[in-house]
């Protein structure tokens, strides 16, 4: 049987223009309680984790990795990707023939951080990845609702 932990819920009701505060003690299994608590926390203070998706030139990967390591950010996922934006591809010469390359090779870095570290990480990435030329890349920042470490079942920031 799953152990049950109590959850104290404050209920605010209005009766004839008088606010009545009451408390209800509810019992939930601990995993359900953790999920409810995480959702309540996020609804009260907003998401506490963000995902950064960084698209950069491949030769800048080591510089970006070192800059993030310098500010104690070490967990990341790296993917080799292809795409184009303003750069719109390029031409290459191979055995005397010219070829149009529509998709430019890039590297995609994915990082999940707590909110407080995002601006510091963005500044480090900008400083290390910028060449000042078209095709330097982009940084996309999005909310992360939940994370779960598969090995231990830990959730939230503890799982990152």
- Any domain includes 133: yes
64 CB contacts (<8 Å, ≥6 apart)?
A: 54, 56, 109, 124, 125, 128, 129
Do residue 65 and residue 84 come from a single domain? yes
The total of structural domains in the chain comes to 2
Q: What is the pLDDT of residue 134?
A: 86
Do residue 60 and residue 129 come from a single domain? yes
Do residue 74 and residue 93 come from a single domain? yes
β-pairing verdict for 18-29 and 104-114: unpaired
Q: Which residues pair with 5 in a beta bridge?
A: 28
pLDDT in tens, the chain (160 residues): 545 555 555 555 555 555 555 555 555 555 555 555 555 555 555 568 899 999 999 999 999 999 999 999 988 999 999 988 776 666 777 787 877 777 889 999 999 998 889 999 999 999 999 999 988 999 999 999 888 999 998 888 888 8
Query: Which residues span the domain enclosing 15?
Result: 4-46
Do residue 107 and residue 63 come from a single domain? yes
Do residue 74 and residue 123 come from a single domain? yes
| CA pseudo-torsion sign 65, 67, 70, 75 | negative
Instruction: Kindly report the CATH number assigned to the domain that includes residue 120.
Output: 3.30.70.120
The three-state secondary structure class of 135 is coil
Q: Over the stretch 95-137, which tens digit does the pLDDT of each residue have?
A: 878 777 778 899 999 999 988 899 999 999 999 999 999 889 9
- Any domain includes 88: yes
- Any domain includes 158: no
* Cα–Cα distance measured from residue 55 to residue 85, given in angstroms and rounded to the nearest whole number: 11
Do residue 98 and residue 61 come from a single domain? yes
Angle between helices 61-70 and 115-129 (to 10 degrees): 140
Q: What is the pLDDT of residue 5?
A: 53
Do residue 56 and residue 128 come from a single domain? yes
């Amino acid at each position: 049987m799953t152990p049950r932990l109590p959850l104290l819920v404050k209920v605010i009701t209005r009766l004839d223009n008088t606010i009545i505060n009451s408390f209800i003690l509810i019992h939930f299994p601990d995993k359900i309680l953790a999920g409810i608590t995480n959702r309540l926390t996020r609804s009260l203070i907003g998401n506490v984790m963000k995902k950064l998706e960084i698209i950069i030139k491949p030769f800048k990967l080591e510089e970006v990795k070192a800059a993030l390591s310098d500010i104690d950010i070490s967990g990341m996922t790296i993917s080799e990707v292809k795409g184009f934006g303003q750069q719109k591809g390029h031409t290459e010469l191979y055995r005397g023939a010219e070829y149009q390359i529509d998709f430019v090779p890039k590297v995609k870095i994915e990082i999940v951080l707590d909110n407080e570290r995002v601006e510091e990480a963005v500044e480090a990435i900008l400083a290390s990845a910028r060449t000042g030329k078209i095709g330097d890349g982009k940084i996309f920042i999005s909310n992360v609702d939940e994370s779960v470490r598969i090995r231990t079942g830990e959730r939230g920031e503890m799982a990152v």
